Amino acid sequence: MLKCRECKECNGYACRGEIPGVGGKDTGRAFINNVEALKKVKINMDVCFEPGEVSTETEILGLKMSMPVFSAPVAGIQNNYGYEISEYDYSCLMLKGCRDAGILGFTGDGINLEELFVKPAMAINDLGGMGIATIKPWVKEGVDARIEALKGLNVAMAAMDVDAAGLPLLRAGKTPVETKGVEQLRYIREALNKKFIVKGVMTVHAAETAVEAGADAIVVSNHGGRVMDDTPGTVEVLPEIVKAVKGKITILVDGGIRSGNDVFKCLALGADGVLIGRPFALACVKEGSQGVTALAAKYQDQLKQAMLMTGCHTIKDITKEKVIVTK
């Protein structure tokens, strides 16, 4: 039986505190805040524009995509979803589903270097490099082992989920995780020799640190509410981060995004793209790569519809005037 209850609305209430599982940490409020914050953003419908084609196509970090959406890294699929599949097979299905939809997927990481990091990275390699390998914020030795593993593989880019620095299980390991400042992030960026994304940014300070370290992108993220209780929703902090670093670094965001309308809202608030976690993971374990492609197609249709109904012909037309943020 799957640990995910497959709720009609994936909002963090039913699975509060379920880790392992798919919930948010402790009271689950950080996950819930992500979803609730997006509900407070309303879209300004206005169709009094010249007619014309609507395109969701975009380019992010030099990659052409059918829309500005990525599948987020979701590691430990057996443990968290209760679904018997290897991390490699899961990653292949997810990445293939994304590739067929014209988008990209991230893979994850864990204590078991070979199973949880190298094999998912091999899945990226086996699918022509179209994926992003995410490294946990290990101490140097652990990071170096993963950078070394990536050297022989065709992997488009790499990321680090810096927000995993406090996870008790990972702090207790042989190469524990640690927090990362400018020096450590700069070292990783240089050692990687490929585009580097800092995932888990929730403040202007963290965003500016990523810029100073030479990172190529940030993901405004609280790890789907799984690393700390009581953080704000990600779209609550997105506008101030956008104000501080827009134009200096690519800005991605995740947390609670459940529709093309939600994608639209994040873009209007200044993000260049979004990551979606649980819905893609569930689609993948239930229906494999076809489920992922079908879900991406649904989001793309919804995004296109939102663009049509707001007079946006291209992704660049989605500006902050297109939404209202209510209290």
Ligand X SMILES: Cc1cc2nc3c(=O)[nH]c(=O)nc-3n(C[C@H](O)[C@H](O)[C@H](O)COP(=O)(O)O)c2cc1C
Residues interacting with ligand X, by CB under 6 A? 22, 34, 72-76, 80, 108-109, 134, 161, 199, 221, 223-224, 226, 254-257, 276-278
The nearest distance, CB 163 to ligand X, in angstroms, is 8
Query: Which is nearer to ligand X, 54 or 269 (by Cβ)?
Result: 269
The nearest distance, CB 254 to ligand X, in angstroms, is 4
Query: Which is nearer to ligand X, 208 or 254 (by Cβ)?
Result: 254
The nearest distance, CB 75 to ligand X, in angstroms, is 3
Backbone angles phi, psi at 69, to 5 degrees: -135, 135
Query: Which is nearer to ligand X, 160 or 245 (by Cβ)?
Result: 160
The nearest distance, CB 77 to ligand X, in angstroms, is 8
Query: Which is nearer to ligand X, 56 or 80 (by Cβ)?
Result: 80
Query: Which is nearer to ligand X, 110 or 310 (by Cβ)?
Result: 110
The nearest distance, CB 53 to ligand X, in angstroms, is 29
Query: Which is nearer to ligand X, 127 or 295 (by Cβ)?
Result: 295
Query: Which is nearer to ligand X, 91 or 221 (by Cβ)?
Result: 221
Tokens of 96: 């293939």
The nearest distance, CB 258 to ligand X, in angstroms, is 8
How far, in Å, CA of 6 to CA of 21, rounded? Answer: 12
The residue written with tokens 């039913």 in the block is 14
The nearest distance, CB 151 to ligand X, in angstroms, is 21
3-state secondary structure the chain: CCCCCCCCCCCCCCCCCCCCCCCCCCCCHHHHHHHHHHHCEEECCCCCCCCCCCCCCEEECCEEECCCEEECCCCCHHHHHCCCCCHHHHHHHHHHHHHHHCCEEEECCCCCHHHHHHHHHHHHHHCCCCEEEEECCECHHHHHHHHHHHHCCCCCEEEEEHHHHHCHHHHCCCCCECCCCHHHHHHHHHHHCCCEEEEEECCHHHHHHHHHCCCCEEEECCHHHCCCCCCCCHHHHHHHHHHHHECCEEEEEECCCCCHHHHHHHHHCCCCEEEECHHHHHHHHHHHHHHHHHHHHHHHHHHHHHHHCCCCCCHHHCCHHHEEECC
Query: Which is nearer to ligand X, 188 or 312 (by Cβ)?
Result: 188
The nearest distance, CB 113 to ligand X, in angstroms, is 13
Q: Facing residues of 311 across strands? A: none
What is the number of the residue whose Cβ is closest to ligand X?
A: 277
